[in-house]
Amino acid sequence: MSGYVLAIDQGTTSTRAIVFDGEMKIAGVGQKEFTQIYPRSGWVEHDPEEIWDSVVSTIQMALREAKVKATDIAALGITNQRETVVVWERETGKPIQNAIVWQDRRTASYCENLKRQDLEKIFTRKTGLILDPYFSGTKLSWMLANVKGARARAAKGELCFGTIDTFLIWRLTGGKSFVTDATNASRTLMYNIAENEWDKDLLEILRVPAAMLPEVKDCSADFGIVEKSILGAEIPILGVAGDQQAATIGQACFEPGMLKSTYGTGCFALLNTGSDMVRSRNRLLTTIAYRLDGETTYALEGSIFIAGAAVQWLRDGLGIIDTAGETGKLAESADPSQEVYLVPAFTGLGAPHWDPKARGAIFGLTRDSGPAEFARAALEAVCYQTRDLLDAMQKDWKNGSDDTVLRVDGGMVASDWTMQRLSDLLDAPVDRPVILETTALGAAWLAGSRAGVWPDRKSFSAKWKRNKRFEPDMDEKTRSAKLKGWKNAVKRTLSDA
C-alpha cells in the first residue's frame, strides 16, 4: 500500500491540504484563504460552502504539487478550527445559516445569565470548560433560537450540528458519516469529559436536542470513506482532532508534563497531564488532549484569542506592513527606550482573565512611536500572554517542575526575533521543530498509523527533530520590569477596571 497520507488543516482564516510521503515529509501543499464575515461588532462568521469549496480545491492543489493521484493516498486525516458551529439540513446537507466562529462574542450576555443562575460550576465540573462565548454550546443555542423553526426541526431530527470536522466528514462521505472525535466534542460545553458522552443535563440547560448531535469516536478511528466522485478515489478517513490537540500530537507531546504552544490566529498552550484530569484553580481549561484505543489523555489548556491576528491587524487594519514576515525585522529596529504595550483584546481576553467585554488598547505611546514600536508591541503581546498561561499552568500542575521546555509551532515561530523574545520573557528554553506544520502532521499521523503505513506512537516520537533551541538571554531586572508593565496594561484593559 502507498505510504502517502493526506491531511486537511481547516483553519480560521485559511484552509490547507498537505500530502505527506511515507517518510512523513511534505510532498505537496495547497492553501487558500476564505472570507471573514463581520455582521456586527464582536460577531464573526464563515460561509460553510466557501469552506467546503476551499477544502476540495486545496486537496487538488496538494495532489498536483505532490505529483500523486487520489488513488495513491492511503488515508486521510482532518484537523480543524475547533469551537466554530455549523448546522445543516440532514436531507440536503445545506447549512441553515453561516457558521458562527469560535471568536464570535454574540452570546456573552447569555453566558452571563447562566452564570447568574449559578450554573457555571456544573459546566466546569462536567466539561472542564468555563461559560464563555468562545465555546460551541451557547453559539448553537443562539442559532436554534434565532433561525426560524430551527429548534423544532432539530428536535425532529431534521438538522445536524457539528464543528467543522463533522461538516466536512458529512460532505466527504456524501452524508453517510455523522461523526466527530473526542477532542472536538470536548470543546462544545455539551460533552462530559469524564464519562466520555454527551451530557443530558447540559443539553437540557442549553435547550439542544440530542437528535442533532454526532457520534463521538476516538481520534484514530474509522470515520468513513470519501466518495469517489469528489476526489477520484475512495479514501478512508482515519484520523480527526481539533487543531490544538492535533498540534500536541504532531509535536509528540505524549508524556505527562510535555508542553506545546501553537501560534496561529490565536495562541494555544497545552500541557499533557496524562490520565489525570487536573482541575484548574487559575482559570485554565481542563480538556481532552486525545483519545486513543479508548483511553483518554487529558491536558490543561490556555487559550489566547489574538496572536497572529494582531500581525494581520498591523497589515490589514493599519497598513504599516505589507507582509507578516516584515514584523520581526521591524520590531528589532524599535527604540529600546520606548515601552509600548499592545493588549490585543479585539474579541475579549481569554485565559487566564476570561473577559469577553474587554477591548484592545495600546499604552506607552510617545510622539516618536511609529511602525517599529507597533510591530514590537504586537509580537511581544504574544510572548507576554504565553507567560501568563505558563505561570498559571505551573501553579496547577503539581507533578511538573520549573524546568519547562516549550515546543512551539505555527506561522509566527518562523521569526527568530519573536522566538528569542518569547524565551527571554518566559525565562525558559523554546524548541522549534524541523516540521512547523505540526497540526497537519498530527492529523496525518492519526490516520497514517491506523492505516499501517506510518509508525506507532513510540517510533513517531523518536522521529521528532528540533530545528533550533532558543535560550533566555535577558537579564532578570529587564524581564521583571517588562512583565510588570504588561500586567499593569492588562489590568487597565479589563472591563471591570
pLDDT at position 314: 84
pLDDT score recorded for residue 497: 59
CB-based contact 64:430 (threshold 8 Å): no
pLDDT at 487: 93
Task: State the average pLDDT over residues 88-113.
Answer: 94
Q: Which of 386, 200, 397 is nearest to 286 (CA)?
A: 397
Q: How far apart are alpha carbons 238 and 219 in whole angstroms?
A: 8
Which of 6, 9, 179, 1 has the alpha carbon at shortest distance from 82?
Answer: 9
Reading the block at residue 204, the C-alpha cell is: 437540557
Whole-number Å distance between alpha carbons of 285 and 298: 10
**pLDDT exceeds cutoff 60 at 31:** yes
Distance from C-alpha of 167 to C-alpha of 165, rounded to nearest angstrom:
5
Mean predicted confidence (pLDDT) in 283-290 = 93
Q: In what order do the strands lie in the sheet with 235-242?
A: 26-33, 14-20, 4-10, 73-80, 235-242, 220-226
C-alpha to C-alpha distance for 131 and 388, rounded to whole angstroms: 20
With beta carbons less than 8 A apart as the criterion, state whether 223 and 177 touch: yes
* Nearest CA among 129, 253, 145, 225 for reference residue 185: 129
Q: How far apart are CA 443 and CA 80, in angstroms?
A: 10
3-state SS, one letter per residue, for the chain: CCCEEEEEEECCCEEEEEEECCCCCEEEEEEEECCCECCCCCCCEECHHHHHHHHHHHHHHHHHHHCCCHHHEEEEEEEECCCCEEEEECCCCCECCCEECCCCCCCHHHHHHHHHCCCHHHHHHHHCCCCCCCCHHHHHHHHHHHCCCHHHHHHCCCEEEECHHHHHHHHHCCCCCCEEEHHHHCCCCCEECCCCEECHHHHHHHCCCHHHCCEEECCEEEEEEECHHHHCCCEEEEEEEEHHHHHHHHCCCCCCCCEEEEECCCEEEEEEEECCCCCCCCCCEEEEEEEECCEEEEEEEEEECCCHHHHHHHHHHHCCCCCHHHHHHHHHCCCCCCCCEEECCECEECCCCCECCCCCEEECCCCCCCHHHHHHHHHHHHHHHHHHHHHHHHHHCCCCCCCCCEEEECHHHHCHHHHHHHHHHHCCCEEEECCCCHHHHHHHHHHHHHHCCCCCHHHHHHCCCEEEEECCCCCHHHHHHHHHHHHHHHHHHCCCC
- Whether the predicted model's global pTM rises above the 0.75 cut: yes
Question: What residue has cell string 498530527?
Answer: 442
Instruction: Measure the CA–CA gap between 358 and 478, rounded to whole angstroms.
Output: 28
In the predicted model, what is the mean pLDDT of residues 278-303? 92
* Distance separating the N- and C-terminal Cα atoms of the chain: 61
Q: What is the chain's mean pLDDT, rounded?
A: 92
pLDDT computed for residue 303 by the predictor:
85
- Where are the domains positioned within the chain? 4-244, 251-433+465-497
In the predicted structure, residue 401 carries a pLDDT above the cut 80: no
pLDDT at 307: 83
Mean predicted confidence (pLDDT) in 411-436: 91
**Assigned CATH class of 4-244:** alpha beta
Model pLDDT, residue 402: 59
163 vs 213: CA distance, rounded Å = 10
Model confidence over 428-440: pLDDT tens digits? 999 999 888 899 9
How confident is the model over 462-488, as a mean pLDDT? 93
Residue entry with cell 435547550: 207
Residue 338 pLDDT greater than 60, yes or no: yes
Query: Does position 2 have pLDDT exceeding 80, yes or no?
Result: no
- Residue-wise pLDDT tens digits, 118-134: 999 999 999 999 998 98
- Taking alpha carbons only, the member of 168, 230, 250 closest to residue 447 is 250
pLDDT classification of 267: cutoffs 50, 70, 90: confident
Is 1 a residue whose pLDDT tops 70?
no
Q: Which residue has the cell 486537496?
A: 59
251-433+465-497 and 4-244 share a CATH fold: yes
Is the CATH code 3.40.50.150 the one for domain 251-433+465-497? no
Per-residue pLDDT tens digits for 203-256: 999 999 999 999 999 999 999 999 999 999 999 999 999 999 999 999 999 999
Residue 399: its pLDDT value, please? 60
pLDDT value of residue 445: 96
